[in-house]
Chains A and B, each alone.
Chain A
Amino acid sequence: MTATQPTTRTQPTVRTCPFDLPEEYRTLREQDPIIQGTLPDGVPGWLITRYEDVRAVLADPRFGASRPRMVGGDADGATPAPPPGTFIFLDPPEHTRFRRLLTGRFTVRRMQQLTPAVEEIVAERLDDMARAESPVDLVQAFALPVPSLVICELLGVPYADREEFQRNSATMISLTASPEAFQEAREAMRQHIHRLVLAKRADPTDDILSELVQTGELTDEELAGVGSLLLLAGHETTANMIALGTMCLLRNPEQVAALRADPTLMDGAVEELLRYLTIVQFGLRRVAREDVELHGHRIKTGSVVVAALSSGNRDSTQFADAPDQLEVGRKYSPHLAFGHGIHQCLGQQLARVEMKAALGALFKRFPTLRLAVPEEDVPMRHDMLVYGVHELPVTW
Protein backbone atom coordinates (compact mmCIF):
# COMPACT_ATOMS: atom_id res chain seq x y z
CA MET A 1 0.00 0.00 0.00
CA THR A 2 1.32 3.41 -0.87
CA ALA A 3 0.20 6.35 1.20
CA THR A 4 -0.38 9.49 -0.80
CA GLN A 5 -0.51 12.26 1.77
CA PRO A 6 1.55 11.97 4.93
CA THR A 7 -0.03 13.11 8.17
CA THR A 8 1.37 16.45 9.28
CA ARG A 9 1.73 17.49 12.89
CA THR A 10 4.16 18.67 15.51
CA GLN A 11 6.37 16.18 17.31
CA PRO A 12 4.59 15.34 20.57
CA THR A 13 6.29 16.85 23.61
CA VAL A 14 3.72 17.07 26.40
CA ARG A 15 3.80 14.33 29.02
CA THR A 16 1.01 13.62 31.46
CA CYS A 17 3.14 11.32 33.65
CA PRO A 18 6.78 12.24 34.37
CA PHE A 19 7.97 8.78 33.31
CA ASP A 20 5.74 8.17 30.33
CA LEU A 21 5.96 9.53 26.82
CA PRO A 22 3.36 11.83 25.37
CA GLU A 23 0.35 9.61 24.75
CA GLU A 24 0.32 10.39 20.98
CA TYR A 25 3.35 8.18 20.42
CA ARG A 26 1.30 5.06 21.02
CA THR A 27 -1.22 6.06 18.33
CA LEU A 28 1.56 7.02 15.93
CA ARG A 29 3.26 3.64 16.36
CA GLU A 30 0.01 1.85 15.73
CA GLN A 31 -1.47 3.96 12.94
CA ASP A 32 1.02 6.42 11.48
CA PRO A 33 4.57 5.03 11.72
CA ILE A 34 5.94 7.90 9.67
CA ILE A 35 4.58 11.43 9.71
CA GLN A 36 5.80 14.70 8.34
CA GLY A 37 5.78 17.69 10.60
CA THR A 38 7.57 20.14 12.78
CA LEU A 39 10.16 19.27 15.40
CA PRO A 40 10.28 20.95 18.83
CA ASP A 41 12.69 23.63 17.57
CA GLY A 42 10.62 24.42 14.49
CA VAL A 43 12.68 22.42 11.99
CA PRO A 44 10.58 20.46 9.48
CA GLY A 45 11.19 16.72 9.33
CA TRP A 46 9.89 13.17 9.25
CA LEU A 47 9.15 11.42 12.54
CA ILE A 48 9.47 7.66 12.89
CA THR A 49 8.26 5.97 16.05
CA ARG A 50 8.43 2.18 15.71
CA TYR A 51 11.31 0.18 17.17
CA GLU A 52 12.18 -1.58 13.93
CA ASP A 53 12.15 1.62 11.88
CA VAL A 54 14.27 3.50 14.38
CA ARG A 55 16.88 0.73 14.41
CA ALA A 56 16.81 0.41 10.65
CA VAL A 57 17.23 4.12 9.93
CA LEU A 58 20.04 4.56 12.46
CA ALA A 59 21.93 1.62 10.94
CA ASP A 60 21.31 2.73 7.34
CA PRO A 61 24.22 4.56 5.66
CA ARG A 62 21.72 6.30 3.35
CA PHE A 63 20.90 8.43 6.39
CA GLY A 64 23.78 10.65 7.51
CA ALA A 65 24.53 12.53 10.70
CA SER A 66 26.19 15.55 9.16
CA ARG A 67 23.50 17.93 10.13
CA PRO A 68 23.82 20.94 12.40
CA ARG A 69 22.56 20.24 15.88
CA MET A 70 19.08 20.28 17.32
CA VAL A 71 18.99 23.56 19.14
CA GLY A 72 20.43 26.96 18.48
CA GLY A 73 19.32 26.93 14.86
CA ASP A 74 17.92 29.80 12.85
CA ALA A 75 14.26 29.77 11.91
CA ASP A 76 14.94 27.60 8.89
CA GLY A 77 16.93 25.15 10.98
CA ALA A 78 20.29 26.12 9.55
CA THR A 79 23.16 26.57 11.95
CA PRO A 80 26.81 27.33 11.36
CA ALA A 81 28.81 24.13 10.89
CA PRO A 82 29.76 22.49 14.18
CA PRO A 83 33.37 23.10 15.26
CA PRO A 84 36.09 20.69 14.07
CA GLY A 85 36.14 17.43 16.03
CA THR A 86 32.37 17.33 16.64
CA PHE A 87 32.32 13.76 15.36
CA ILE A 88 28.70 12.98 16.21
CA PHE A 89 27.83 15.22 13.25
CA LEU A 90 30.26 13.54 10.84
CA ASP A 91 29.75 10.67 8.43
CA PRO A 92 32.35 8.10 7.42
CA PRO A 93 35.19 8.27 6.61
CA GLU A 94 35.68 11.42 8.73
CA HIS A 95 33.66 9.96 11.60
CA THR A 96 35.67 6.74 11.53
CA ARG A 97 38.95 8.58 12.07
CA PHE A 98 37.73 10.10 15.36
CA ARG A 99 35.81 7.08 16.59
CA ARG A 100 38.79 4.78 16.11
CA LEU A 101 41.02 7.07 18.13
CA LEU A 102 38.56 6.97 21.02
CA THR A 103 37.04 3.49 21.19
CA GLY A 104 40.09 1.89 22.82
CA ARG A 105 39.73 4.32 25.69
CA PHE A 106 36.12 3.33 26.41
CA THR A 107 36.18 -0.47 26.15
CA VAL A 108 34.16 -2.72 28.44
CA ARG A 109 37.38 -3.82 30.18
CA ARG A 110 38.74 -0.32 30.74
CA MET A 111 35.44 0.98 32.04
CA GLN A 112 34.86 -1.97 34.37
CA GLN A 113 38.35 -1.43 35.75
CA LEU A 114 37.18 2.02 36.81
CA THR A 115 34.51 0.52 39.07
CA PRO A 116 36.48 0.83 42.36
CA ALA A 117 37.39 4.46 41.59
CA VAL A 118 33.77 5.27 40.70
CA GLU A 119 32.53 3.52 43.85
CA GLU A 120 34.92 5.63 45.91
CA ILE A 121 33.62 8.84 44.35
CA VAL A 122 30.05 7.67 44.98
CA ALA A 123 30.81 6.82 48.62
CA GLU A 124 32.40 10.22 49.24
CA ARG A 125 29.41 12.04 47.83
CA LEU A 126 27.03 9.94 49.91
CA ASP A 127 29.12 10.65 53.04
CA ASP A 128 28.77 14.35 52.35
CA MET A 129 25.07 13.95 51.77
CA ALA A 130 24.63 12.05 55.03
CA ARG A 131 26.34 14.89 56.89
CA ALA A 132 24.10 17.50 55.30
CA GLU A 133 20.75 18.41 56.76
CA SER A 134 17.88 16.93 54.81
CA PRO A 135 16.16 17.71 52.54
CA VAL A 136 18.89 17.94 49.94
CA ASP A 137 18.68 18.37 46.20
CA LEU A 138 19.89 15.01 44.93
CA VAL A 139 20.93 16.52 41.59
CA GLN A 140 23.42 18.97 43.13
CA ALA A 141 24.49 16.70 45.97
CA PHE A 142 24.95 13.48 44.07
CA ALA A 143 23.61 12.87 40.56
CA LEU A 144 25.55 15.69 38.88
CA PRO A 145 28.82 15.53 40.88
CA VAL A 146 29.40 11.79 40.38
CA PRO A 147 29.61 11.72 36.55
CA SER A 148 31.20 15.19 36.50
CA LEU A 149 33.99 14.05 38.81
CA VAL A 150 34.49 10.85 36.81
CA ILE A 151 34.65 12.50 33.39
CA CYS A 152 36.89 15.29 34.72
CA GLU A 153 39.28 12.68 36.10
CA LEU A 154 39.23 10.67 32.86
CA LEU A 155 39.67 13.60 30.50
CA GLY A 156 42.00 15.61 32.68
CA VAL A 157 39.67 18.58 33.19
CA PRO A 158 39.98 20.35 36.58
CA TYR A 159 36.82 19.69 38.61
CA ALA A 160 37.11 23.27 39.87
CA ASP A 161 35.92 24.31 36.39
CA ARG A 162 32.61 22.50 36.86
CA GLU A 163 30.36 25.50 37.36
CA GLU A 164 31.43 26.93 34.04
CA PHE A 165 31.15 23.74 31.99
CA GLN A 166 27.92 22.61 33.61
CA ARG A 167 26.37 25.99 32.82
CA ASN A 168 27.60 25.90 29.21
CA SER A 169 26.38 22.32 28.76
CA ALA A 170 22.95 23.22 30.08
CA THR A 171 22.66 26.10 27.60
CA MET A 172 23.77 23.88 24.72
CA ILE A 173 20.97 21.37 25.28
CA SER A 174 18.23 23.82 26.21
CA LEU A 175 15.31 24.10 23.81
CA THR A 176 14.72 27.65 24.94
CA ALA A 177 18.27 29.04 24.53
CA SER A 178 18.60 31.63 21.77
CA PRO A 179 20.95 30.85 18.86
CA GLU A 180 23.30 33.52 20.23
CA ALA A 181 23.33 31.99 23.72
CA PHE A 182 23.92 28.56 22.20
CA GLN A 183 26.86 29.78 20.11
CA GLU A 184 28.34 31.63 23.06
CA ALA A 185 28.13 28.58 25.33
CA ARG A 186 29.58 26.28 22.69
CA GLU A 187 32.44 28.66 22.03
CA ALA A 188 33.18 29.11 25.75
CA MET A 189 33.26 25.33 26.19
CA ARG A 190 35.52 24.92 23.16
CA GLN A 191 37.94 27.61 24.34
CA HIS A 192 38.07 26.08 27.80
CA ILE A 193 39.15 22.71 26.39
CA HIS A 194 41.45 24.40 23.88
CA ARG A 195 43.37 26.03 26.74
CA LEU A 196 43.66 22.66 28.47
CA VAL A 197 44.91 21.04 25.25
CA LEU A 198 47.65 23.65 24.95
CA ALA A 199 48.64 23.08 28.57
CA LYS A 200 48.75 19.31 28.07
CA ARG A 201 50.80 19.66 24.92
CA ALA A 202 53.41 21.49 26.98
CA ASP A 203 53.06 19.23 30.01
CA PRO A 204 51.18 15.96 29.43
CA THR A 205 49.47 14.28 32.37
CA ASP A 206 47.81 10.89 32.75
CA ASP A 207 44.45 11.41 31.09
CA ILE A 208 42.61 11.01 27.79
CA LEU A 209 43.20 14.55 26.53
CA SER A 210 46.97 14.17 27.11
CA GLU A 211 46.94 10.77 25.39
CA LEU A 212 45.09 12.21 22.41
CA VAL A 213 47.52 15.12 22.22
CA GLN A 214 50.40 12.67 22.15
CA THR A 215 49.00 10.57 19.33
CA GLY A 216 49.68 13.51 17.02
CA GLU A 217 46.59 12.52 15.01
CA LEU A 218 44.43 15.53 15.76
CA THR A 219 44.88 19.27 15.50
CA ASP A 220 44.40 21.40 18.59
CA GLU A 221 41.11 22.64 17.11
CA GLU A 222 39.90 19.07 16.62
CA LEU A 223 41.02 18.14 20.12
CA ALA A 224 39.05 21.06 21.53
CA GLY A 225 35.94 19.80 19.72
CA VAL A 226 36.40 16.18 20.77
CA GLY A 227 37.11 17.18 24.36
CA SER A 228 34.06 19.45 24.53
CA LEU A 229 31.84 16.70 23.24
CA LEU A 230 33.15 14.10 25.68
CA LEU A 231 32.87 16.50 28.59
CA LEU A 232 29.27 17.45 27.78
CA ALA A 233 28.10 13.96 26.93
CA GLY A 234 30.01 12.49 29.86
CA HIS A 235 28.13 14.26 32.60
CA GLU A 236 24.74 15.55 31.37
CA THR A 237 23.26 12.24 30.31
CA THR A 238 24.43 10.11 33.23
CA ALA A 239 23.52 12.77 35.78
CA ASN A 240 19.95 12.72 34.49
CA MET A 241 19.79 8.95 34.39
CA ILE A 242 20.89 8.81 38.04
CA ALA A 243 18.45 11.50 39.21
CA LEU A 244 15.46 10.46 37.12
CA GLY A 245 16.27 6.79 37.78
CA THR A 246 16.17 7.50 41.52
CA MET A 247 12.84 9.29 41.23
CA CYS A 248 11.46 6.44 39.17
CA LEU A 249 12.62 3.79 41.64
CA LEU A 250 11.05 5.77 44.50
CA ARG A 251 7.75 5.55 42.61
CA ASN A 252 8.24 1.77 42.27
CA PRO A 253 9.24 0.54 45.76
CA GLU A 254 8.52 -3.08 44.85
CA GLN A 255 11.26 -2.83 42.21
CA VAL A 256 13.70 -1.51 44.82
CA ALA A 257 12.70 -4.40 47.08
CA ALA A 258 13.37 -6.86 44.27
CA LEU A 259 16.83 -5.32 43.79
CA ARG A 260 17.55 -5.54 47.50
CA ALA A 261 16.50 -9.17 47.60
CA ASP A 262 18.65 -10.05 44.60
CA PRO A 263 21.56 -7.69 43.87
CA THR A 264 22.41 -9.72 40.76
CA LEU A 265 19.41 -7.99 39.15
CA MET A 266 21.37 -4.72 39.10
CA ASP A 267 22.84 -5.08 35.60
CA GLY A 268 19.38 -5.76 34.20
CA ALA A 269 17.86 -2.97 36.27
CA VAL A 270 20.24 -0.46 34.71
CA GLU A 271 19.26 -1.65 31.21
CA GLU A 272 15.60 -1.46 32.12
CA LEU A 273 15.93 2.08 33.47
CA LEU A 274 17.76 3.07 30.30
CA ARG A 275 14.96 1.61 28.19
CA TYR A 276 12.10 2.89 30.31
CA LEU A 277 13.36 6.44 30.77
CA THR A 278 15.23 7.03 27.44
CA ILE A 279 16.31 10.53 28.36
CA VAL A 280 17.21 11.62 24.78
CA GLN A 281 13.59 12.66 24.75
CA PHE A 282 13.12 14.01 21.21
CA GLY A 283 15.16 11.35 19.45
CA LEU A 284 18.13 11.47 17.10
CA ARG A 285 18.25 13.33 13.79
CA ARG A 286 19.52 12.03 10.53
CA VAL A 287 19.49 13.47 7.02
CA ALA A 288 18.63 11.48 3.90
CA ARG A 289 21.73 11.38 1.68
CA GLU A 290 19.62 10.10 -1.21
CA ASP A 291 15.90 9.61 -1.83
CA VAL A 292 14.64 6.82 0.40
CA GLU A 293 11.22 5.21 0.48
CA LEU A 294 9.76 4.36 3.87
CA HIS A 295 6.21 3.16 4.58
CA GLY A 296 5.18 4.30 1.12
CA HIS A 297 6.53 7.82 1.49
CA ARG A 298 9.45 9.22 -0.46
CA ILE A 299 11.92 10.89 1.87
CA LYS A 300 13.77 13.28 -0.37
CA THR A 301 17.51 13.88 -0.26
CA GLY A 302 18.33 16.44 2.40
CA SER A 303 15.20 15.80 4.49
CA VAL A 304 15.55 15.45 8.24
CA VAL A 305 14.35 12.21 9.82
CA VAL A 306 13.88 11.95 13.57
CA ALA A 307 14.34 8.50 15.06
CA ALA A 308 12.26 8.62 18.24
CA LEU A 309 14.35 6.45 20.57
CA SER A 310 11.94 6.81 23.47
CA SER A 311 8.98 5.68 21.39
CA GLY A 312 10.89 2.70 20.00
CA ASN A 313 11.74 1.69 23.54
CA ARG A 314 8.04 1.48 24.44
CA ASP A 315 7.06 -0.45 21.31
CA SER A 316 5.01 -3.46 22.36
CA THR A 317 6.05 -5.42 19.29
CA GLN A 318 9.61 -5.46 20.65
CA PHE A 319 8.95 -5.27 24.39
CA ALA A 320 5.94 -7.49 24.52
CA ASP A 321 5.42 -7.70 28.26
CA ALA A 322 3.93 -4.39 29.46
CA PRO A 323 6.44 -1.98 27.91
CA ASP A 324 5.00 0.94 29.88
CA GLN A 325 5.92 -0.69 33.17
CA LEU A 326 9.30 -0.65 34.85
CA GLU A 327 10.35 -4.25 35.38
CA VAL A 328 13.90 -4.63 36.70
CA GLY A 329 13.80 -8.37 36.08
CA ARG A 330 12.82 -7.94 32.43
CA LYS A 331 14.51 -10.32 30.05
CA TYR A 332 17.08 -8.33 28.09
CA SER A 333 16.12 -7.13 24.67
CA PRO A 334 18.26 -4.59 22.84
CA HIS A 335 17.00 -1.13 23.69
CA LEU A 336 17.70 2.10 21.85
CA ALA A 337 18.65 4.34 24.77
CA PHE A 338 22.24 4.68 23.52
CA GLY A 339 21.12 5.00 19.91
CA HIS A 340 22.04 2.51 17.23
CA GLY A 341 24.35 2.39 14.22
CA ILE A 342 27.88 3.74 13.96
CA HIS A 343 27.19 6.65 16.31
CA GLN A 344 25.94 4.48 19.16
CA CYS A 345 27.07 6.07 22.42
CA LEU A 346 30.83 5.85 22.85
CA GLY A 347 30.57 6.23 26.61
CA GLN A 348 27.84 3.66 27.21
CA GLN A 349 30.05 1.29 29.21
CA LEU A 350 31.08 4.15 31.47
CA ALA A 351 27.45 5.14 31.93
CA ARG A 352 26.60 1.57 32.95
CA VAL A 353 29.42 1.46 35.52
CA GLU A 354 28.37 4.83 36.95
CA MET A 355 24.66 4.05 37.13
CA LYS A 356 25.27 0.71 38.75
CA ALA A 357 27.61 2.13 41.39
CA ALA A 358 25.49 5.20 42.08
CA LEU A 359 22.02 3.66 42.30
CA GLY A 360 23.24 0.57 44.16
CA ALA A 361 25.02 2.57 46.85
CA LEU A 362 22.36 5.27 47.16
CA PHE A 363 19.54 2.89 48.05
CA LYS A 364 21.80 0.86 50.33
CA ARG A 365 23.07 3.88 52.22
CA PHE A 366 19.68 5.58 52.51
CA PRO A 367 17.09 2.81 52.87
CA THR A 368 14.43 5.32 53.88
CA LEU A 369 15.12 7.69 50.96
CA ARG A 370 12.00 9.48 49.76
CA LEU A 371 10.89 12.62 47.96
CA ALA A 372 10.77 15.72 50.13
CA VAL A 373 8.06 17.32 47.99
CA PRO A 374 4.97 15.96 46.24
CA GLU A 375 5.95 14.24 42.99
CA GLU A 376 4.03 16.78 40.91
CA ASP A 377 6.20 19.57 42.34
CA VAL A 378 9.46 18.10 41.01
CA PRO A 379 10.60 20.34 38.13
CA MET A 380 10.93 18.11 35.08
CA ARG A 381 13.25 18.88 32.16
CA HIS A 382 10.56 19.23 29.47
CA ASP A 383 12.65 22.06 28.04
CA MET A 384 15.90 20.17 27.52
CA LEU A 385 17.07 17.72 24.87
CA VAL A 386 18.15 15.49 27.74
CA TYR A 387 15.11 14.74 29.89
CA GLY A 388 15.26 14.36 33.65
CA VAL A 389 14.76 16.59 36.66
CA HIS A 390 16.08 20.09 37.27
CA GLU A 391 16.04 19.37 41.01
CA LEU A 392 15.14 16.37 43.12
CA PRO A 393 14.50 17.31 46.78
CA VAL A 394 14.90 14.17 48.90
CA THR A 395 14.89 13.30 52.57
CA TRP A 396 15.55 10.08 54.54
Chain B
Amino acid sequence: MKVIIDENKCVGAGQCVLAAADVFDQRDEDGIVVLLNPLPPDDLGAQVEDAALRCPALAIEVVK
Protein backbone atom coordinates (compact mmCIF):
# COMPACT_ATOMS: atom_id res chain seq x y z
CA MET B 1 0.00 0.00 0.00
CA LYS B 2 1.29 3.40 -0.99
CA VAL B 3 -0.07 6.72 0.29
CA ILE B 4 0.11 9.94 -1.70
CA ILE B 5 -0.92 13.28 -0.25
CA ASP B 6 -1.66 16.58 -1.90
CA GLU B 7 -0.57 19.41 0.40
CA ASN B 8 -2.20 21.97 -1.85
CA LYS B 9 -5.62 20.42 -1.37
CA CYS B 10 -5.26 19.87 2.40
CA VAL B 11 -7.46 22.13 4.56
CA GLY B 12 -6.00 21.03 7.89
CA ALA B 13 -9.18 19.47 9.27
CA GLY B 14 -7.12 16.83 11.09
CA GLN B 15 -9.42 13.92 10.25
CA CYS B 16 -6.51 11.83 8.97
CA VAL B 17 -4.66 12.18 12.28
CA LEU B 18 -7.72 10.94 14.15
CA ALA B 19 -8.06 8.00 11.78
CA ALA B 20 -4.40 6.93 11.49
CA ALA B 21 -2.00 8.75 13.81
CA ASP B 22 0.87 6.41 12.87
CA VAL B 23 0.70 7.51 9.26
CA PHE B 24 -0.46 11.14 9.33
CA ASP B 25 0.46 14.19 11.34
CA GLN B 26 -0.06 17.94 10.98
CA ARG B 27 2.53 20.68 10.69
CA ASP B 28 2.42 22.91 13.75
CA GLU B 29 2.71 26.12 11.76
CA ASP B 30 -0.18 25.71 9.35
CA GLY B 31 -1.90 22.42 10.19
CA ILE B 32 -1.13 20.94 6.78
CA VAL B 33 -0.85 17.15 6.56
CA VAL B 34 2.53 15.49 7.14
CA LEU B 35 2.95 11.99 5.80
CA LEU B 36 4.86 10.01 8.42
CA ASN B 37 4.91 6.79 6.45
CA PRO B 38 4.21 6.69 2.70
CA LEU B 39 4.37 2.86 2.70
CA PRO B 40 2.33 1.80 5.74
CA PRO B 41 2.20 -1.87 6.76
CA ASP B 42 -0.89 -3.86 5.83
CA ASP B 43 -2.21 -3.93 9.38
CA LEU B 44 -2.76 -0.17 9.15
CA GLY B 45 -4.63 -0.55 5.87
CA ALA B 46 -8.11 -0.08 7.32
CA GLN B 47 -7.05 3.04 9.24
CA VAL B 48 -5.39 4.56 6.19
CA GLU B 49 -8.43 3.93 4.03
CA ASP B 50 -10.58 5.44 6.74
CA ALA B 51 -8.34 8.52 6.70
CA ALA B 52 -8.71 8.86 2.94
CA LEU B 53 -12.47 8.49 3.23
CA ARG B 54 -12.78 11.04 6.01
CA CYS B 55 -10.55 13.67 4.37
CA PRO B 56 -12.93 16.50 3.48
CA ALA B 57 -10.60 17.89 0.83
CA LEU B 58 -9.88 14.60 -0.99
CA ALA B 59 -6.17 15.17 -0.37
CA ILE B 60 -5.23 11.54 0.34
CA GLU B 61 -4.80 8.90 -2.33
CA VAL B 62 -4.24 5.25 -1.48
CA VAL B 63 -2.60 3.08 -4.16
CA LYS B 64 -2.71 -0.68 -3.69
Contact = CB atoms under 8 A, between A and B. Distances in A.
Interface of B is mostly: loop
A104 B29 contact: yes
Nearest to B54: A334
B61 to A, nearest CB: 14
B31 interface: yes
Interface residues of A, number: 27
Contacts of A104: 12, 26-31
B51 to A, nearest CB: 10
A364 interface: no
Nearest to B11: A342
Nearest to B24: A108
B62 interface: no
**On chain B, which size bracket covers the interface?**
20 to 34
A103 interface: yes
The winner among B11, B25, B30, B32 for most chain A CB atoms within 10 A is B11
Contact of B56 (A102, A108, A332, A342): A342
A344 B13 contact: yes
Contact of A99 (B12, B25, B27, B54): B12
B26 A109 contact: yes
A59 interface: yes
A109 B25 CA distance: 9
B31 A103 contact: yes
B31 A107 contact: yes
A343 B18 CA distance: 18
A103 B56 contact: no
Interface string B2-40: 000000000111110110000001111111100000000
B58 interface: yes
A342 B57 contact: yes
A101 to B, nearest CB: 8
Nearest to B9: A342
A344 B17 contact: no
A340 interface: yes
A106 B12 contact: yes
Given A99-B11, A344-B11, A107 B28 contact: yes
Interface of A: 58-59, 99-110, 332, 334, 338-346, 348-349
Interface of B: 11-15, 17-18, 25-32, 50, 53-54, 56-58
Q: Which 5 A-B pairs have the closest CB atoms?
A: A103-B12, A103-B31, A344-B56, A108-B14, A108-B17
13 contacts: A59-B56, A100-B30, A103-B12, A104-B31, A107-B17, A109-B25, A109-B26, A334-B15, A334-B53, A339-B56, A344-B11, A344-B15, A348-B13
